[in-house]
Structure 1
Amino acid sequence: MRKTLRLAMGAAVLAALSGFAVATNYTLWINGRSNSATPGNHADFRYWGPATTAAGVNKKSVNWDGYNSIANTNGKVRDALDCYCTGNNWCYIAAHSAGNLQIGYSLALYGTSTRSIKTPTPNSAGTCSNSGAGTQAGWNIKWVRVAGGAAGGSELANSGDWALSEPLVSDLKTSTARAMYNHNSTQGKIFYMYAGASGTLYSALLPGQDDEAIAYHSSGGISGSSGGGFCNPSDWWCNDLTLGTAAAEGGRAKWTNHTVAFRDDGEAYNHYNNGNWAGIVGRMRTDVVNNAQ
């Protein structure tokens, strides 16, 4: 009788334990403009560099086309967030350039929406099936890191230096990017910003320090409806972009939950990863590897 009871209790415990899914962490990489990788193929790292390069635990390349507007392509980002950042699974997010707009848009407009909990095995379109475990509000995200972030837009889009036929370029105008969504609404997720300063080609168009595509006002997460000139402390003719969450010199605040993790005081990093984890992306990748585990 006692043996039968013990066996029954053991079976009940095993049945209960089998109902708990194993928790897994993922690192999602969200590309910027001009992506040649296949949208929705989370194993295609052509935008970033060799897929064999360390880039955080269980790395996935989200892959949207880098051409069409944020509103029309954000579904690919939400699909990836649903796949890997629901249920017992958690995500680290790494974004470059316009990928900053994609994750900011996702959190501000959909970060409290009801999401079906998914099984993290996407089909060829990058969507995952429901796990049967129900729903949740928003996504499980530990933090967001952004290299050369374009959430504040770029003066190169304003001036027509990029192909005006690209729908994304219209979104990258400073006034449009800053009005696209509430940049303060991150659902409590911290955005760690990496600002490059090795910019020379477009220095006359980009105010303050820049990485040849994005000025510090955007890559540093500076708030407001327009850009501004912000620099390294060595530049006496420009207000400093401060590290951390503190307002920039001159009093201009950063967006809520945005903190400057890296400011390129040595002017060594430009905007371009060159398909080889280069530029400011490479500097961010080092921190992702060390912290996304």
Structure 2
Amino acid sequence: MMRIAQLSRSAMLLCLLAAGAANATNYTLWINGRTGGGAVGNYNSWNYWGPGATAAGVNKKSVNWDGYNNISSQSGKIRDALDCFCTGSNWCYIATHSAGQMMLGYTLAQYGASARYKKNATPNSAGQCGNSDGGTQTGWNIKWVRAAGSAAGGSELADYGSWALSEPLVKDLKTTTARAMYDHNNTQNVWFYMYAGAKGTLYSGLLPGQDDEAVSYHSSGGIAGSSGRSLGNPSDWFSNDLTLGTASNEGGSTKWNRHSVSFRDDGENHNHYASGNWGGIISVMRNDVANLAK
């Protein structure tokens, strides 16, 4: 009888574990950059990126913030989304563009070790979800982050006033400000995979090394340090090479912890901009996310 009771308990435990696994869901979160455009709080508003029907990872959600105000004031929108979809038994893949990577990096560094209520993944009109079981966890369940045209290291266009300096976000995007805003090495053990575009022409005189018309390789490649530096492709004569992966760059500069370059635009084919159709360097990242975020 005791043996039967033990078997029954074991069977019940297996059923509970199977039910928990069945309820687990993966989501793909897309975090916009400067200018915004999607409806804040509406995770199905894709105005910033392109057509919403485009494949962009499993259970994709558009995490919209205004793309205008400073990072600290808008971080709550990101935390709402992470709480909604990346707690409890649910896990997230995350894709960011431009200042969206600064937004996520700041949020992870500042709040990624905090206690978070487990949520039910059913957002209200403000983009907030209800508690699932009243329990909490430390931080969020994130599989990886992919970042196209990252502005986490700032942009010289903000330094020199090429963007409207009245925008609070532009002040955050100054290179020295962006690099001192939070600990870029503190990713809460989450890996960031970087996509660096090089089809830059309009502002080539202001942006050092290769650039995508908005950010240089020192930012889109996740390069550590207190200021930007000139980095380029192996064919460039006048700048050190940005290396793929986590290796140090030519000249000795290094990447932030858990930052790895997945794509370097050796052909100089990709600019910074979505152009309403998942364009520019976003197109390369979107293809990888669609194939890998399952």
**Which residue matches 1:232?**
233
Distance 1:102 1:13 in 2: 41
Change (3 A) 1:217 1:13: closer
Gaps of 5+ in 2: none
1:196-207 correspondence runs (5 A): 196-207=197-208
Distance 1:275 1:42 in 2: 17
**Which residue matches 2:79?**
78
**Which residue matches 1:49?**
50
Distance 1:36 1:234 in 2: 37
**Which residue matches 2:255?**
254
Change (3 A) 1:14 1:208: closer
**Which residue matches 2:100?**
99
- Structure 1 segments, 4+ long, off by >4 Å, are 8-19
Gaps of 5+ in 1: none
1:231-253 per-position Cα deviation (integer Å, ceiling 9, x unaligned): 00000111000000011110011
**Which residue matches 1:143?**
144
Q: Secondary structure of the residue that 2:122 maps to in structure 1?
A: coil
Change (3 A) 1:12 1:196: closer
Q: Secondary structure of the residue that 1:235 maps to in structure 2?
A: coil
Once the two structures are TM-superposed, the CA of residue 14 in structure 1 deviates from its matched residue by: 10
Distance 1:199 1:210 in 2: 5
Once the two structures are TM-superposed, the CA of residue 171 in structure 1 deviates from its matched residue by: 0.4
**TM-score, normalised with respect to structure 1:** 0.94
Change (3 A) 1:16 1:219: closer
Mapped contact 1:87–1:133 kept (Cα < 8 A) = no
1:243-286 per-position Cα deviation (integer Å, ceiling 9, x unaligned): 00011110011000000000000000000001110000011000
Amino acid at match of 1:81: L
Distance 1:282 1:188 in 2: 26
Matched, 1:132 2:118: no
The count of corresponding residues between Structure 1 and Structure 2 is: 287
1:122-173 per-position Cα deviation (integer Å, ceiling 9, x unaligned): 0011000000150000000000000000000000000000011110000000
Change (3 A) 1:207 1:117: same
Change (3 A) 1:13 1:256: closer
Distance 1:19 1:248 in 2: 47
Mapped contact 1:28–1:91 kept (Cα < 8 A) = yes
Distance 1:263 1:31 in 2: 21
Distance 1:244 1:11 in 2: 45
**Which residue matches 1:69?**
70
Distance 1:29 1:277 in 2: 12
Change (3 A) 1:200 1:17: closer
1:90-239 correspondence runs (5 A): 90-239=91-240
Distance 1:17 1:245 in 2: 37
1:14-29 correspondence runs (5 A): 16=16, 20=20, 22-29=23-30
**TM-score, normalised with respect to structure 2:** 0.94
Q: Secondary structure of the residue that 1:273 maps to in structure 2?
A: coil
Amino acid at match of 2:50: G
Distance 1:146 1:160 in 2: 25
Identity %: 67
Change (3 A) 1:133 1:233: same
